[in-house]
């Protein structure tokens, strides 16, 4: 007697995933998968006060063929405490109400403590089904035996949900009955059913699912204890058994065998919940247009107006291109989106904030004309289809860069202008990673904190499920005082927590631009920073069909803004970066000499090496340069053939003449995605949308197999011999994955060129900007050194003169004399290969000497309020002595001491004595703040104690301690005697030396990079700064066993190796040995220097002969001639070439 199939079924209507943070122990995707495995036709996801999981749940349900039911478990705050009710969306109106309910819950009260009152929950009942379970107010009262009180608590729900609702004759209110087979369960079930019967509402069975399978129940315990921050113990864990899993239908039926109608109703309710999120449908933003006009016609008009403003000639090519783009935009419905983004960009510019477009959007003429992008795509051969095309599954995504320091202002402006209901930030779910998981789980398991900490620290930031694998390679874990069982348990939990959300944060850049129905599509909450934020990350936003704009804060834009402001302040010049000439020779001279520290995209050691080899001469060269220095091109070695062909070393050839038009710009080498698209179009006659689609799928073997016959067929039909077509196809395949998006590189080239131009013409102002906003990879101390190299004086920290940021000051004196006597760059700057100094920007502007004043904000630990108090007090009158500073500012003692220590008080007119005296006063003076203690005078500190003045070494040390920079002298100067003993070569001299000779360099480590390189071996690029310039060092894998640790952990290093020429003036040292200079200095003091060198594990002398030995100072003879302990030919020998 098998039961009727529909009756045998059961639909789970209550399940909380891991988006019910530290509560549910499974992903929404796994819920869909498991429901499908169990043969269930539908399943509900009901997370706590959120629909974070809804989009991916919908997508997964579609994938597994399960019907999703969307709901949420709402927190209801009552006088007796927090209670929970389950809401399920029947239709779109219900889903909209659910979104709005969640938004109200999230927006009211404290962030992270969402709750509604019973009244609020009942206010938006339309289209919703409400389940009152054992955690609800009425349910709890019933279980406590207070059926009458429960009936009273039920009344508001009955009024709101108990009545028929728009064509749905049944009540939308149910008692939710659970039986977890706990000792009290039988009684609770009876009470809940009794309450339902008394109140005339129906009951339905659920299982309050928190884990999918019985075996995962332990995760629920850990999550619960982590949530409550209590150690795992019986009395801290709410579950008594493992029954709260996604039980199969027959087990649920068996559980409620006496009341099968409770299970039948799950099927009935599931049938009534018809809402579908319709993943993949796009919802366009609203754009208010003048009466009757479509967004498309407004966009077209703006484009034509923009063409006039940009002084672009409407050639037939341009007209066709524009018509084509507009038609595509119109067909796909994106016109309002473009208009909205253009308005936002305009707003940002109107706020006086620099804005730049990045990414494939720069390939659009429309974007150029309406000033979203500043790159002319027609001139640079950029393709619209690389950005938008009808065959792409993804929504277009425009990225704009703004000044990092003003990003919040930009966000505020966008959110304010576009109102509460159609614009919000995107979230970013922070998930558990190994370290964090180990710490939290270790605490929950009650393991000793110190041991857990060691275990946690031992792990690099890897996904938690790699923990075991990492363990096997980490000897430091062996010494731990954790027994195998404890570690096993720790890792068993940690492994499973991988990918679990930890908390929800603000995405750094995404802003959703939508219509006024946004609050009905997705719940909103407040980010930690107070921004309105959708309960969706960037992938969810895409699934929801919402368009977004990425607003990225870019430090370089802030640095350039600071530079422009400083130019205006000190020289009264207003520079418009959008109007500077594109082919400025001075700028290209700077770029070719690779004097590009601080410049956007082209300052890294590898880039500077490439610049030297490449020798760019025009704007479009920058696009190539930026595109070549990417993992893809580097890996596939496109750089060498490109450079050889460019410099005429190698003849330009094309895989096939067909490819010449597409590849001529890069001498036959495939550099760009756009070229791959053009090749496909030229050979097979595809339209560019199709080309873009094919290019995207070229990495997928399955797709390639399908596309190839089509490509060959089309090519042959167009008269290309099959053999040739096949050859081209193979070449395209080979190159396709390595190219870079040209539009992206072209967009980057704009700030790259602008920053180089500023550095060439206003080095002091530019570097002040770089120092203030730190846009690049180098530490401040190196930028200061770069400034010194350019003849810019570093002016000391001064309580009366320093501004919050790094500022430029004209150096006093006879201006004319200074102008005549001082070149823009010091002679030593030639070491970087710059031929001569810079010409002044225009003959009318006389050269002046400028200095950069150290910034107040660079003092470690100083607060904004303290900086402000200095400025305010100083505006009244300048400070006279230390007591005056302490009285009139809100400086805390440690900050005052730091200022004294770094010499900020040295030039106070009323503070005689040494810096140590002033520090003493700052330390002991009893200084009542103004207005705080009224009459107590500054306690007399007595006569200046006459302490010893700081030595220059102490000055530098104090600067490093307080500001992290060596401002007065270069750090390396203190090693001068040692460096002389070692016969170290100065960085500035490297460019003049022949290659292939052995020598030693020393310097402060300013950068170490390990980019992907074509051979797959790990190469460390190291840059040392010795005060005369930069020395680039390459550390190959072969020597890393004895060098890597020092390279990574040392600060001041000495490197012995072989010099390799890399360009006209470029040179790089191939490292053989690396020492910590401080250790060498210690050895020297102790007279053990020779021992250190004698102890060298390996060296090249065996191969290079005695000539080298003769060329190095006696001390190094040890390493130059010592017998080799490593087999040399094993290294391949030519690693350095």
Partner 1 sequence: MTKRYDEQVAVERDAGMPAAFLWRGRRYEVRDVIGRWRIEGRWWEDGRDREYWRVEAKGGAVVDLYEDRLGGRWHLERLWD
> Which spans of this chain sit near partner 1 (rule: CB under 8 A)?
181-183, 185-186, 217-218, 221, 232, 234, 237, 239-243, 445, 489
Q: What angle do CA 65, 69, 71 make, to 5 degrees?
A: 150
Q: Which of 1024, 980, 971 is nearest to 1001 (CA)?
A: 1024
Pick the closer one to partner 1 by CB: 345 or 482. Answer: 482
Q: Are 840 and 846 in contact (CB under 8 A)?
A: yes
Pick the closer one to partner 1 by CB: 241 or 1009. Answer: 241
Pick the closer one to partner 1 by CB: 185 or 404. Answer: 185
Q: Are 1100 and 998 in contact (CB under 8 A)?
A: yes
Q: Are 1004 and 1026 in contact (CB under 8 A)?
A: yes
Output phi, psi for 932, to 5 deg. -95, -65
What minimum distance in Å lies between the beta carbon of 264 and partner 1? 23
What minimum distance in Å lies between the beta carbon of 242 and partner 1? 5
What minimum distance in Å lies between the beta carbon of 499 and partner 1? 22
Count Cα neighbours of 870 within 13 Å in the Cβ-side half-sphere: 23
What minimum distance in Å lies between the beta carbon of 243 and partner 1? 6
Rounded to 10 deg, the angle between the 407-417 and 335-350 helix axes is 130
- What 3-state DSSP class applies to 249? helix
- Reported as type and span, the H/E element at residue 68 is strand 67-78
- What are the residues facing 355 on neighbouring strands? 402
10 Å Cβ neighbour count for 776?
23
What are the strands, taking DSSP E only, across 555-592?
A: none
Q: Which of 65, 78, 63, 85 is nearest to 14 (CA)?
A: 85
Pick the closer one to partner 1 by CB: 232 or 370. Answer: 232
What minimum distance in Å lies between the beta carbon of 177 and partner 1? 16
Pick the closer one to partner 1 by CB: 62 or 240. Answer: 240
Q: How far is CA 977 from CA 538, 981, 984, 1025, 1080, in A?
A: 57, 6, 11, 17, 12
What minimum distance in Å lies between the beta carbon of 234 and partner 1? 6
What minimum distance in Å lies between the beta carbon of 217 and partner 1? 7
What minimum distance in Å lies between the beta carbon of 423 and partner 1? 47
Pick the closer one to partner 1 by CB: 218 or 338. Answer: 218
What minimum distance in Å lies between the beta carbon of 185 and partner 1? 6
Q: Which of 428, 446, 390 is nearest to 533 (CA)?
A: 428
10 Å Cβ neighbour count for 858?
22
> What is 786-838 written as a DSSP string?
HHHHTT-EEEPP-TTT--SS-EEEEPPS-HHHHHHH--SS-GGGGGGT--S-P
What minimum distance in Å lies between the beta carbon of 232 and partner 1? 5
Pick the closer one to partner 1 by CB: 13 or 232. Answer: 232
> What is 848-915 written as a DSSP string?
--EEEEPPGGGSTT--HHHHHHHHHHHHHS---SHHHHHHHS---HHHHHHHHHTTTTTT-TT--S-H
Pick the closer one to partner 1 by CB: 189 or 783. Answer: 189
Give the pair of three-digit tokens for residue 1121. Answer: 């001639």
CA distance 912 to 917: 8
What minimum distance in Å lies between the beta carbon of 181 and partner 1? 5
Pick the closer one to partner 1 by CB: 254 or 865. Answer: 254
> What is 977-1039 written as a DSSP string?
HHHHHHTPPPHHHHTTS-SS-EEEEEEEEEEEE----TT----EEEEEE-SS-EEEEEE-GGG
Q: How far is CA 257 from CA 61, 205, 242, 269, 608, in A?
A: 29, 11, 20, 19, 77
What residue has token string 């899993």? 245
What minimum distance in Å lies between the beta carbon of 180 and partner 1? 8
- What are the residues facing 42 on neighbouring strands? 67
Helix then strand then coil, % of the chain, to nearest 5:
50, 15, 35
Pick the closer one to partner 1 by CB: 194 or 874. Answer: 194
What minimum distance in Å lies between the beta carbon of 226 and partner 1? 13
What minimum distance in Å lies between the beta carbon of 775 and partner 1? 49
CA distance 1068 to 785: 20
Q: Which long-range contacts (CB under 8 A, 24 or more apart) does 366-369 make?
A: 366/299, 366/303, 366/322, 366/325, 366/326, 366/329, 366/338, 367/338, 367/398, 368/306, 368/310, 369/302, 369/303, 369/304, 369/306, 369/307, 369/310, 369/312, 369/322
Pick the closer one to partner 1 by CB: 213 or 351. Answer: 213
Pick the closer one to partner 1 by CB: 182 or 286. Answer: 182
Q: Which of 397, 667, 446, 693 is nearest to 551 (CA)?
A: 397
Pick the closer one to partner 1 by CB: 445 or 716. Answer: 445
- Name the CA dihedral angle for 417, 421, 425, 431, rounded to a multiple of 10 degrees: 170
Pick the closer one to partner 1 by CB: 227 or 976. Answer: 227
CA distance 127 to 912: 80
What minimum distance in Å lies between the beta carbon of 488 and partner 1? 11
What minimum distance in Å lies between the beta carbon of 86 and partner 1? 24
CA distance 1125 to 1073: 14
Pick the closer one to partner 1 by CB: 159 or 449. Answer: 449
Pick the closer one to partner 1 by CB: 180 or 1065. Answer: 180
Pick the closer one to partner 1 by CB: 188 or 665. Answer: 188
What minimum distance in Å lies between the beta carbon of 262 and partner 1? 18
């Amino acid at each position: 007697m098998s039961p009727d199939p529909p009756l045998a079924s059961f639909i789970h209507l209550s399940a909380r995933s891991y988006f019910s943070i530290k509560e549910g122990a499974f992903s929404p995707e796994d819920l869909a998968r498991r429901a499908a495995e169990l043969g269930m036709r539908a399943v509900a996801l009901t997370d706590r006060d959120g629909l974070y999981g809804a989009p991916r749940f919908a997508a997964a349900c579609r994938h597994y063929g399960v019907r999703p039911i969307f709901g949420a478990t709402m927190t209801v705050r009552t006088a007796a405490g927090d209670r929970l009710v389950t809401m399920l969306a029947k239709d779109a109106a219900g889903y909209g109400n659910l979104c709005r309910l969640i938004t109200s819950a999230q927006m009211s009260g404290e962030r992270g403590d969402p709750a509604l009152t019973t009244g609020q929950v009942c206010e938006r009942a339309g289209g919703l089904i409400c389940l009152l379970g054992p955690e609800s107010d009425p349910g709890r009262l019933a279980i406590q035996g207070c059926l009458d009180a429960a009936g009273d608590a039920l009344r508001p729900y009955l009024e709101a949900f108990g009545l028929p609702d728009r064509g749905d004759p049944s009540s939308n209110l149910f008692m939710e009955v659970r039986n977890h087979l706990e000792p009290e369960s039988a009684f609770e079930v009876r009470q809940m059913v009794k309450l339902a019967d008394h109140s005339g509402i129906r009951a339905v069975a659920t299982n309050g699912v928190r884990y999918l399978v019985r075996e995962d129940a332990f995760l629920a315990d850990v999550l619960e204890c982590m949530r409550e921050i209590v150690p795992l113990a019986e009395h801290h864990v709410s579950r008594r058994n493992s029954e709260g899993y996604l039980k199969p239908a027959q087990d649920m039926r068996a559980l409620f065998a006496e009341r099968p109608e409770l299970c039948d109703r799950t099927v009935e309710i599931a049938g009534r919940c018809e809402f579908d999120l319709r993943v993949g449908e796009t919802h366009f933003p609203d754009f208010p247009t003048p009466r009757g006009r479509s967004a498309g016609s407004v966009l077209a008009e703006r484009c034509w107006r923009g063409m006039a403003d940009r002084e672009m000639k409407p050639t037939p090519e341009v007209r066709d291109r524009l018509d084509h783009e507009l038609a595509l935009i119109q067909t796909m419905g994106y016109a309002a989106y473009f208009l909205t983004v253009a308005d936002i960009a305009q707003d940002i510019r109107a706020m006086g904030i620099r804005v730049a477009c990045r990414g494939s959007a720069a390939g659009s003429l429309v974007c150029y004309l309406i000033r979203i992008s500043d790159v002319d795509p027609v001139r640079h051969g950029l393709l619209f289809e690389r950005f938008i095309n009808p065959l792409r599954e993804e929504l277009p995504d425009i990225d704009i860069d703004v000044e990092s320091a003003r990003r919040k202002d930009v966000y505020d402006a966008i959110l304010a202008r576009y109102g509460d209901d159609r614009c919000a930030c995107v979230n970013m779910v922070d998930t558990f990673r190994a370290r964090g998981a180990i710490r939290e789980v270790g605490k929950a398991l009650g393991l000793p904190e110190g041991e857990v900490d060691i275990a946690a620290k031992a792990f690099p930031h890897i996904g938690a499920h790699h923990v075991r694998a990492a363990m096997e390679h980490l000897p430091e874990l062996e010494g731990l005082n954790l027994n195998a069982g404890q570690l096993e348990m720790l890792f068993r939990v940690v492994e499973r927590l991988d990918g679990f959300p930890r908390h929800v944060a603000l995405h750094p850049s995404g802003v959703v631009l939508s219509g006024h129905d946004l609050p009905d599509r997705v719940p909103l909450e407040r980010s930690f920073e107070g921004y309105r934020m959708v309960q969706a990350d960037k992938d969810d936003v895409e699934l929801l069909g919402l368009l977004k704009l990425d607003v990225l804060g870019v430090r370089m834009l802030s640095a350039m803004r600071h530079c422009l402001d400083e130019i205006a302040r000190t020289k009264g010049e207003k520079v418009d970066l959008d109007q500077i000439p594109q082919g400025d020779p001075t700028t290209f001279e700077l770029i070719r000499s690779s004097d590009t520290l601080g410049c956007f995209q082209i300052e890294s050691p590898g880039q500077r090496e490439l610049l030297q080899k490449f020798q760019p001469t025009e704007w479009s060269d920058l696009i190539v340069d930026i595109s070549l220095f990417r993992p893809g091109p580097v890996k596939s070695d496109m750089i060498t053939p490109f450079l050889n062909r460019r410099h005429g070393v190698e003849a330009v050839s094309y895989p096939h003449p067909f490819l010449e038009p597409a590849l001529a710009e890069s001498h036959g080498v495939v550099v760009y995605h756009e070229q791959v698209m053009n090749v496909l179009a030229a050979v097979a006659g595809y339209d560019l949308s199709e080309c873009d689609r094919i290019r995207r799928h070229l990495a997928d073997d399955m797709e390639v197999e399908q596309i190839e016959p089509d490509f060959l067929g089309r090519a042959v039909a167009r008269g290309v011999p099959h053999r040739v077509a096949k050859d081209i196809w193979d070449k395209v395949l080979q190159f396709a994955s390595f190219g870079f998006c040209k539009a992206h590189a072209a967009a980057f080239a704009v700030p790259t060129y602008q920053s180089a131009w500023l550095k060439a013409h206003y080095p002091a102002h530019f570097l002040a900007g770089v120092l203030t906003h730190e846009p690049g990879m180098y530490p401040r101390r190196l930028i200061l050194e770069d400034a010194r190299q350019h003849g810019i004086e570093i002016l000391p920290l001064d309580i009366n003169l320093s501004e919050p940021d790094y500022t430029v000051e004209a150096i006093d004196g006879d201006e004319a004399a200074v102008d005549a006597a001082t070149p823009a760059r010091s002679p030593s700057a030639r070491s970087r290969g710059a031929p001569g100094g810079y010409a002044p920007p225009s003959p009318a502007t006389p050269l002046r000497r400028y200095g950069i004043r150290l910034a107040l904000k660079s003092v470690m630990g100083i607060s904004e309020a303290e900086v402000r108090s200095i400025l305010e007090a100083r505006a009244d009158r300048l400070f006279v002595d230390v007591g005056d500073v302490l009285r009139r500012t809100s400086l805390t003692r440690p900050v005052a001491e730091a200022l004294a220590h770094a010499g900020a008080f040295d030039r106070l007119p009323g503070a005689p004595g040494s810096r140590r005296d002033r520090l003493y006063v700052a330390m002991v003076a009893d200084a009542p703040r103004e207005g705080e203690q009224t009459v107590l005078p500054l306690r007399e500190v007595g006569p200046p104690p006459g302490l010893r003045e700081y030595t220059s070494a102490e000055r530098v040390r104090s600067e490093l301690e307080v500001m992290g920079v060596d401002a007065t002298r270069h750090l390396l100067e203190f090693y001068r005697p040692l460096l002389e003993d070692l016969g170290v070569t100065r960085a500035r001299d490297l460019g003049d030396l022949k290659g292939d000779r052995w020598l030693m360099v020393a310097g402060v480590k300013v950068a170490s990079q390990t980019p992907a390189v074509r051979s797959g071996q790990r190469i460390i690029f190291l840059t040392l700064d010795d005060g005369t310039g930069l020395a680039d060092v390459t550390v190959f894998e072969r020597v890393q066993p004895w060098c890597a640790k020092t390279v990574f952990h040392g600060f001041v290093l000495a490197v012995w190796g072989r010099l390799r020429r890399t360009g006209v003036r470029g040179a790089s040292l191939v490292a053989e040995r690396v020492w910590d200079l401080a250790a060498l200095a210690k050895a020297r003091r102790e007279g053990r220097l020779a021992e250190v060198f004698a102890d060298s594990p390996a060296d090249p002398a065996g191969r290079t002969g005695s000539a080298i030995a003769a060329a190095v100072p006696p001390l190094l003879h040890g390493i130059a001639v010592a017998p080799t302990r490593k087999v040399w030919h094993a290294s391949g020998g030519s690693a350095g070439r």
